[in-house]
Structure formats: structure tokens, C-alpha cells
């Protein structure tokens, strides 16, 4: 496999986590606790970082590089590019809160370095820290609410 995982001490991505809107309300100690479960992965150009119709196992943050979000129509097999992800953006976050299959592929566009929060480690962390769990899940709700608003605005504009 073209993946290298490195277990780093306390700070593999504290600075990056603090800049990610999803975790913006976390205090420094909470961000440190979250960073302790993070791993770094490096992937080559063209690597599938998250596969459509697979059960996600982690939240990923692009530490370096970019990626493309693509979705294959299950009937026609036609693939459509949905979004481009830049450095600092995240994907796979829904795998931390539900057991649904990924709705799209995320593919590395050039070599990438990812900050990875594994689902099992995340679940253990929030189960052991109620205050952190409330803050993180509240951030998830806020982010999802914002996405839903944008999607509704897009749909309303398309129907006009």
C-alpha cells in the first residue's frame, strides 16, 4: 500500500486542528487531547482517500496538497466532480457520527499529507470526556446545518 502511518506524540496537528472551523470552539487543552489520537498519512497522486459506498473509518484533514470529490451515478456509472478540496479542508467527518456509506470518492490530486482522526480512537476520547463530546458534536451540528442551508440555497436558485 502507498500509505505511511506515523504515531506522533502530542502535537501532530494542534495548529491545524485549531484552524479547522469544525473544531474552532475547542480550548487548547481539548485540542491537545484530540491531537493525541491523530495520525499522519501520506498518499500518492491519484490515491483514493475515501471510497464511495464504503464505511468510513476516519475524519481526514488535508495537511498538504489537494483532492477532488467525485460521485459515480450507481445506475449509469457516470462520474461527476462535485468539489475540489484545498489544504486545511476536511472530509469523512460523517463517519465519526453515523454508520452510513460514503456518498462520494475523494481522490488525491498530487501527493497529499493527511491528518487522520480514526473513528475508534475518537469514540473512546469523546466517551471519556463529556465536555469535549458536547463541544465537538455541537460543532458537527453547526457545520451540517450550514451545509444544509447552502444546499437549500443552491436548490432554490436552480429552481428559479
Dihedral of the CA atoms 42, 62, 10, 141 (nearest 10)? -140
Residue range 96-138, pLDDT digits in tens: 888 888 889 999 999 999 999 999 999 999 999 998 899 888 8
pLDDT in tens, 79-97: 999 899 999 999 998 888 8
CA dist., res. 77 & res. 50, Å (int): 18
Asked if residue 80 belongs to a domain, the reply is yes
Does residue 64 form part of some domain? yes
- pLDDT higher than threshold 70 for residue 66: yes
* Cα–Cα nearest to 113, from 52, 56, 26, 47: 47
Local structure of 10: helix, strand or coil: coil
The answer to whether residue 69 sits within a structural domain is: yes
Does residue 136 belong to any structural domain of this protein? yes
Residue 117 and residue 96: Cα distance in Å, rounded?
A: 9
Total number of domains constituting the chain: 1
Here the CATH number for the domain that contains residue 14 is 2.60.120.10
Is residue 24 in a domain?
Answer: yes
User: Does residue 2 register a pLDDT over 80?
Assistant: no
In a domain, 160, yes or no: no
In degrees, to the nearest 5, what angle opens at C-alpha 106 toward C-alphas 1 and 45?
Answer: 50
Q: Which residue has the higher pLDDT, 44 or 56?
A: 44
pTM above 0.75, yes or no: yes
Residue with cell 475508534: 120
Q: What percent of the chain has pLDDT over 70?
A: 91
The reply to whether 114 falls in a domain is: yes
| Domain interval for residue 41 | 4-155
Which has more pLDDT, 113 or 12? 113
Distance between CA 64 and CA 44 in Å, rounded?
A: 12
Amino acid at each position: 500500500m502507498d500509505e505511511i502511518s506515523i504515531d506522533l506524540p502530542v502535537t501532530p496537528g494542534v495548529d491545524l486542528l485549531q484552524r479547522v472551523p469544525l473544531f474552532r470552539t475547542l480550548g487548547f487543552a481539548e485540542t491537545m487531547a484530540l491531537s493525541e489520537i491523530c495520525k499522519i498519512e501520506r498518499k500518492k497522486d491519484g490515491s483514493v482517500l475515501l471510497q464511495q459506498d464504503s464505511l468510513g473509518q476516519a475524519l481526514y484533514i488535508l495537511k498538504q496538497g489537494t483532492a477532488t470529490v467525485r460521485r459515480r451515478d450507481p445506475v449509469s456509472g457516470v462520474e461527476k466532480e462535485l468539489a475540489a478540496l484545498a489544504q486545511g479542508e476536511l472530509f469523512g467527518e460523517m463517519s465519526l457520527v453515523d454508520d452510513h456509506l460514503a456518498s462520494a470518492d475523494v481522490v488525491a490530486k498530487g501527493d497529499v499529507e493527511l491528518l487522520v482522526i480514526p473513528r475508534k480512537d475518537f469514540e473512546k476520547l469523546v466517551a471519556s470526556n463529556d465536555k469535549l463530546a458536547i463541544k465537538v458534536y455541537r460543532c458537527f451540528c453547526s457545520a451540517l446545518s450550514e451545509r444544509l442551508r447552502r444546499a437549500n440555497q443552491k436548490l432554490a436558485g436552480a429552481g428559479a
